[in-house]
Amino acid sequence: MLYHEKTLQCNLKNNPDVIFSWPIAFYNLVWEELEASPSGLRGSCKAALRRLAEAQPGAPTGLRLEKLQSAITELKVSWNRQEFRLLFFREQSVVYVVNFFQKKTRKCPPSEIARAVGRMTEIQVDQAKVLTRSLH
């Protein structure tokens, strides 16, 4: 059973000690970058991501979110007077984090958005392959 299936199963079993959350998946490189970042920055990012995973439709999240393009959304995180961005998309109840970078310009750089879109496509193609294999 996949990790996120296990998470969903546990969540749906109504454990009161476990806060319901949607699974989070990271593009490999993004996870490595996040894990290699200073612990304070990781703390900030993981608090925001945890809230994102717990977000209920229609309820205010308190998160700083901005819709970009092609289903990509930007999650804004501050740490040490610096601004960081996590770009993600949601698919089949999973939050996929596909880019993580320090913001240095006023607007989200198109190159970073393009990178996120490229990775999203990669993941979608990969999932389609897995699905096709499982059907045969």
- Summarize as ranges the residues that interact with other proteins (CB under 8 A): 2-4, 6-7, 9-21, 23-28, 31, 38-44, 46-51, 54, 56, 59-64, 77-79, 94, 96, 122-123, 126
For residue 8, CA distances in Å to 30, 60, 61 come to 23, 22, 21
**10 Å Cβ neighbour count for 52?**
21
Nearer to other proteins, 2 or 69 (CB): 2
Nearer to other proteins, 51 or 68 (CB): 51
94 beta partners: 91
Residue 21: CB minimum distance to other proteins, A: 7
Nearer to other proteins, 98 or 113 (CB): 98
Antiparallel, parallel or unpaired: β 73-79 and 94-102: unpaired
